[in-house]
Amino acid sequence: GKLGEGTFGFVWRVRHTEWQIDLAVKELKRASPERQKNFLRESLVWIRELGLHPHIVTAYSVRELEGTPYLFLEYCPGGSLADSIQQGQGTRVSGSRDLATTLALGIQLAWGLAHCHEKHIVHRDFKPLNVLLTETGEAKITDFGTVKFAALEQVVEQGSAASRPDFLKTLGGQLQGTPPYMPPEQWVKGGTVDYRADLYALGVTLFELLTGDHPVRPAQNTLAGWAAAHAQAPPVALRTLRPDVPAALEALVQRCLAKRPEQRPKSAREVAEVLAGLYGDVTKQSYGRQPPSELKALANRCNNLGASYYDMRLLPDAEKAWEEALRVDARHLEATYNLGLIRWRSGRLTDKDLVRTLREVSAAHSGKESLHALLAQVHLERWDAASAIEELEVGQRQRAGSQSSQSLLIQARAALPASWRCLRTFEGHTNSVSAVAISPDGRWVLSGSWDTTLKLWEPTTGQCRRTFEGHTHHVFAVAFSPDGRWALSGSADNTCIVCFLDWELK
């Protein structure tokens, strides 16, 4: 089903049939080159730079389907914080329990922003609509379409500058953000915007969580009106709308809403620490959770990153991600397949080596149908539809075939008539076969062997129609004349022999 729709795209709720979880998928409405560039930019920042954090919506992968990129995200069933505020949860309600809930959400949001800022990322559009809630009410920051790198040169130094595309750079000169949450400096086109802009937006969000209202009220609901209000109008006193709010909390919100960036808190972590202290004062017990750190990437995560990089044409990064997945789990099936596939396609691995490697890891995935599906895809790519069919049928016998495997089986059966497969085996030489040739009209096969003979075969029946003798050492080259009447052989005995093929054979 559809979760939402914006100016440029849709967000869908989908089911991942292998992981058995729901995901959210962002899809572009109009995939113009510029919009695709910005979409990939957002996706790359989200996946590559932000990693895994409990208060950031996880971006699993970005995949290109029929020329359109789709971003696969963690699904949060609790909806947005904006919806929660609009429904009256946490608005103008006295009582320590509601205040504690607000403080807990504020701590989580500050932790999430601190993680972004420590990755040199400024959100620039932080607001309740871009905060999603889990089923248990945990807050997660989402939508990184307008992010800015506060220190791009530091980020580039951490990785290969050549592998980082232009769309990582900030959108200089453009007005970015949502008017009610934008600090004065963000209204200046081409101006300097750093992490303190997000702290201002956090102050607006905390004020809204506590009161259901905005701390800055423009004379006119226009861009110019909002710009003037943020630059000149003092914020509404929080405790005039919510008397039960502690003075220290009001002071913190006012600091976040300071007009000058240097007057705001030093960091999001400082905001989280103050909120945690206030939580203890309000509830008479500690918050009970320590500031979370970035979660270690597991093999599945690294594999998904590699697939995303591959679709973004960042092939060196894709290989590194798959190599990291195999360092974490040497028998990770999908990473083994993906890394082997691109190395085979680039001529650094043979198809036999790829199949052998996949079979070597099969012991760790006994009964897993996807193993047979992956092997079948390799067979299909090397035009061996018969082996692909065999693999898929084995997978289906082991467990009920998935819809994707059944589709692949239909594809393999359709490809069988034109695929490469063993049509005939010619037997008769007594030593290694070192040379073969097919006649111009395709009716005859000539072979040369270490047994010093040449043999003429009829491919439709597999019968040997002539054996030519005369060489005293192994035959290493054979050829037909353009009219098919003559055959020429070369041997290690330092001779060439011309053989006349009986006209009646033709």
As given in the structure block, the two tokens for residue 32 are: 């113009």
Task: For residue 270, give the amino acid letter.
Answer: E
SS3 state of residue 159: coil
Cβ proximity of 426 and 462 under 8 Å? yes
220 conformational bin, left if phi > 0, alpha if psi -120 to 50, beta if neither: beta
Count other C-beta atoms under 10 Å from residue 91's C-beta. Answer: 18
As given in the structure block, the two tokens for residue 221 are: 């609901």
Continuous segment of H or E residues that includes residue 70: strand 68-74
What pLDDT does residue 492 have?
96
Backbone phi, then psi, for 49, in 5-degree steps? Answer: -90, -40
Helix then strand count (H, E) for the chain reads: 16, 16
What pLDDT does residue 159 have?
36
Place of tokens 């043999």: 455
Q: Which of 162, 200, 206 is nearest to 184 (CA)?
A: 200
SS3 state of residue 345: helix
Count other C-beta atoms under 10 Å from residue 395's C-beta. Answer: 25
CA distance 444 to 459: 6
Q: Which of 29, 36, 42, 38 is nearest to 2 (CA)?
A: 29
**DSSP label of 75:** -
Continuous segment of H or E residues that includes residue 21: strand 21-28
**DSSP label of 78:** T
As given in the structure block, the two tokens for residue 124 are: 């620039």
Q: Which of 489, 468, 476 is nearest to 450 (CA)?
A: 476
Cβ proximity of 70 and 27 under 8 Å? yes
As given in the structure block, the two tokens for residue 314 are: 């960042």
Cβ proximity of 472 and 453 under 8 Å? no
Place of tokens 């997660």: 140
Count other C-beta atoms under 10 Å from residue 337's C-beta. Answer: 22
Cβ proximity of 23 and 75 under 8 Å? yes
Count other C-beta atoms under 10 Å from residue 34's C-beta. Answer: 9
Q: For residue 25, how far is the Cα from the chain centroid?
A: 12
Task: For residue 47, give the amino acid letter.
Answer: I
**DSSP label of 221:** S
Digitized pLDDT (tens) for each residue of the chain, 506 residues in all = 998 887 778 899 999 887 889 999 998 877 677 778 778 777 877 888 888 899 999 999 888 888 788 899 999 999 999 999 888 754 444 444 489 999 999 999 999 999 999 998 899 899 999 999 999 999 999 988 655 544 333 333 333 333 333 333 333 445 678 899 999 999 987 777 899 999 999 999 999 999 999 999 999 889 899 999 999 999 999 999 999 999 999 999 999 999 999 999 999 999 999 999 999 999 999 998 899 887 777 898 899 989 988 888 889 999 999 999 999 999 999 999 999 999 999 999 999 999 999 988 887 776 666 788 899 999 999 989 999 998 888 877 766 556 778 888 999 999 988 887 777 899 999 999 999 999 999 999 999 999 999 999 999 899 999 999 999 999 999 999 999 889 999 999 999 999 988 655 54
Place of tokens 């103050």: 274
Cβ proximity of 94 and 241 under 8 Å? no
Q: Which of 497, 446, 433, 447 is nearest to 471 (CA)?
A: 497
Q: Which of 335, 269, 268 is nearest to 297 (CA)?
A: 335
Backbone phi, then psi, for 273, in 5-degree steps? Answer: -65, -45
What pLDDT does residue 402 have?
66
